[in-house]
Amino acid sequence: MILSMEQFERDQQEILDLYLDNKIGERHLITKAPTWNNYKASYRPLVEYAKQHKMPVIAANAPGDIIRCIGKTGSKYLDKLPAKKRQLVAAEAFIDVDGYSDKFFGVMGLTGHVKTTSRLYQSYQAQLARDNTMAESINQALKQSPNAQVIHLNGSFHSADHLGTVGALKRLNPAINVVVITPVHTGQLVDYKKKHQLKNDYFYLLNQQPKDFVSVKNMKVAHKAMFAKSAEKAKLCE
């Protein structure tokens, strides 16, 4: 069995392996990778399970700095990368999956010409680069260990309706058997089933989590700070 994770990026594979081999401690992993802010609360248990059972863990995602620059400047950004860094993103980074763009832009309430113009389309290209990179990472792991079962962890948008990463993986390996397990909050399963194609998927129910914000004002302040931080990082793409 192999664990594959969206939460780690390809350029973090070496430091992740050092942690799994007990050559560095958790604090070093968290600060030097670095991990996502919710590491301890959300996906630390999976990493620890893999470590205890000697399971390989694949840092499947494309590096965030490259994805950020694709979102700012579009697909042509990859042409600027040196060969070694270019390998951190899927060889075919921008191949689409039928129906995925409709879903992506539909979430934003947008259709039509928006798909081929504007900064939003570059955001979609960044999304595709993530999906295709994760799919390629999974497929490479299966080529190296053809008898293994890969458990891949990602945000549900990447796998809902068998689009995103799932669709990209099936393009690379049409014979692969994929099962999607989706977390759904208690009380929302019926509505979820109405909106999504099930295709023999599985679900597990979660209790409602505490609200991130009660005050709209506080939410706007937090989001403004987050976007400002992203904009500052995006300046490095220039």
- State residue 114's pLDDT score: 55
**Whether pLDDT at 174 is above 80:** yes
Cβ-Cβ contacts under 8 Å for 230 (sequence gap 6 or more): 68
- State residue 117's pLDDT score: 61
- State residue 111's pLDDT score: 57
How far is the C-alpha of 103 from the C-alpha of 101, rounded, in Å? 5
Q: Which domain holds residue 103?
A: 2-176+208-212
**Whether pLDDT at 233 is above 70:** yes
How far is the C-alpha of 61 from the C-alpha of 163, rounded, in Å? 16
pLDDT tens per residue, range 179-230: 999 988 888 888 888 887 666 789 888 888 888 889 988 988 888 887 777 7
- State residue 143's pLDDT score: 97
**Contact status, residue 10 vs residue 137, Cβ threshold 8 Å:** yes
- State residue 109's pLDDT score: 67
Q: Which amino acid type is present at position 102?
A: D
Asked whether residue 102 is assigned to any structural domain, the reply reads yes
- State residue 197's pLDDT score: 67
**Contact status, residue 140 vs residue 2, Cβ threshold 8 Å:** no
Question: Percentage of the chain with pLDDT > 70?
Answer: 95
pLDDT tens per residue, range 88-118: 999 999 999 999 999 998 877 665 555 556 7
**Contact status, residue 181 vs residue 204, Cβ threshold 8 Å:** yes
pLDDT tens per residue, range 38-79: 999 999 999 999 999 999 999 999 999 999 999 999 999 999
Asked whether residue 229 is assigned to any structural domain, the reply reads no
Asked whether residue 144 is assigned to any structural domain, the reply reads yes
CA angle 67, 72, 78 (to 5 degrees): 55
Burial 175-210 (b: 16+ CB within 10 A, else e): eeebebeeebeeeeeeeeeeebeeeebebeeeeeee
What are residue 73's phi and psi, to 5 degrees? Answer: -120, -10
Number of domains present in the structure of the chain: 1
Count CB-CB contacts under 10 A for residue 62. 25
Asked whether residue 98 is assigned to any structural domain, the reply reads yes
Confidence of residue 30 (pLDDT cuts 50, 70, 90): very high
Asked whether residue 39 is assigned to any structural domain, the reply reads yes
Cβ-Cβ contacts under 8 Å for 33 (sequence gap 6 or more): 8, 12, 15, 16
**Contact status, residue 74 vs residue 122, Cβ threshold 8 Å:** yes
When the pLDDT of each residue in the chain is averaged and rounded to a whole number, the result is: 91
Asked whether residue 37 is assigned to any structural domain, the reply reads yes
